[in-house]
Amino acid sequence: MHSAATREIRLACADLITSFAHFVDHREFDRAAALFAEDGVFERPDLTARGRDQIAAIWATRPSSVITRHLCQAPYFLEVGIEIACSVTGFMLYHVDHHMEGIPPLGGPRAICEFHDRFRRTADGWRIAHRKSIAILRQSD
């Protein structure tokens, strides 16, 4: 594949990664779910959601007091093809349940994790076909 095409695919997939973090952190959960293919899968240690409706439902009951930030590093692409691409993206997850006014105090990250992503080209452009979130290090409870 031509290097310009490879760059274009990498950029499109990297944009999905960044957009997901932004949408989840800014409580735009329907927009986060729309980044997945119709039959997309999102796996976390505590759940597996299949399809956009189940993915959006993950956050349906999240209290407004919960603040998250996903600080993502650049993705490392394992595979880049015309129809499929795969990457691993490290990220630090900050998670606070803040019930008071003002800016919450900053502690360390709750976890250092990786997104293992498989992207698929669809009629609507590149989408996340499968995302697995894996904790590498986490704070003890």
Structure tokens at 128: 């996340």
- Site of tokens 């691993």: 88
Given this model, what pLDDT does residue 1 score? 64
CA distance 31 to 1: 31
Tens digit of each residue's pLDDT (9 = 90 or more) over 75-98: 999 999 999 999 999 999 999 998
User: For the chain, which domains are there?
Assistant: 3-138 (3.10.450.50)
- pTM for the complete prediction? 0.94
pLDDT at 141 over 80: no
Find, among 86, 94, 43, the residue nearest to 66 by Cα: 94
Q: What is the mean pLDDT of the chain?
A: 96
Tens digit of each residue's pLDDT (9 = 90 or more) over 42-53: 999 999 999 999
